Amino acid sequence: MPSGRTHDRITLWSLPIVTSLSFGLIHSTHLTLFVSGGFLFSGLMFGPDLDINSRQFQRWGWFKWFWRPYQTSLNHRSFLSHGPIIGTAIRLLYVLTLLGMVVVFGLIIDELLGLEWSILGFVESLWRSLSLHYQEAIALLVGLELGAMSHSVSDWSSSVYKRFKTKGLSSLLPKVKLQKQRRKSSPRKSTSAKVVPPRSRRTQK
């Protein structure tokens, strides 16, 4: 598995390629910035290796505690953390859930203090903002997923190369287990009884 420094280099070297391809496909400067920004953020701070004490985890500084429950809930390199789409989706859901709890707690305090903020008004304004800027949100999500996949693909490529180096071409072929059918019929046991000569009885005269 590549080291954290190698993953950082892959992210930085891939950034110009992602930026060029994004601009060539969508022909939009600000949407390209969202894709590139999401890719860079995911590759350096929001990638699959947040499930261990990695460079990505260390970059969160004082907010490292934020990811402790995430680490204890998932195994390293599991499908839920390194899988395509689902890994990024779970991390986003995790962040949004914790941030939502903090926001709701703050809004409840504001309600108790008699301020003008309200939970319903906050949700409405958030939904209105997402509706107006849905293209930017989609571009950001694409960038986050591309950054995560660059990490997972490099891990997978490294594992395949190591297996090929040690075991050769056979390690790349699918393993097929041949199950031999065993005959249920067991060899018949001879039922013929042994002939035991009768014991001679002594006759008394």
| 128-154 residue pLDDT tens | 888 899 999 999 999 999 999 998 888
187 found inside a domain: no
- 29: Cβ contacts below 8 Å, ≥ 6 apart: 23
The answer to whether the CB of 44 falls within 8 A of the CB of 8 is yes
184 found inside a domain: no
43 found inside a domain: yes
Q: Residue 135: what pLDDT?
A: 95
Q: Residue 203: what pLDDT?
A: 45
Q: Residue 181: what pLDDT?
A: 47
The answer to whether the CB of 39 falls within 8 A of the CB of 147 is yes
57 found inside a domain: yes
164 found inside a domain: yes
Domain that residue 11 falls in: 4-168
User: DSSP class of residue 172?
Assistant: T
Instruction: Please state the φ and ψ torsions of residue 106, each to the nearest 5 degrees.
Output: -65, -40
188 found inside a domain: no
Domain count, the chain: 1
Q: Residue 78: what pLDDT?
A: 87
153 found inside a domain: yes
60 found inside a domain: yes
Q: How many CB atoms lie within 10 A of CB 93?
A: 10
The residues of the chain scoring below 50 in pLDDT are 176-182, 185, 190-192, 200-205
Radius of gyration of the chain from its Cα atoms, rounded to whole angstroms: 32
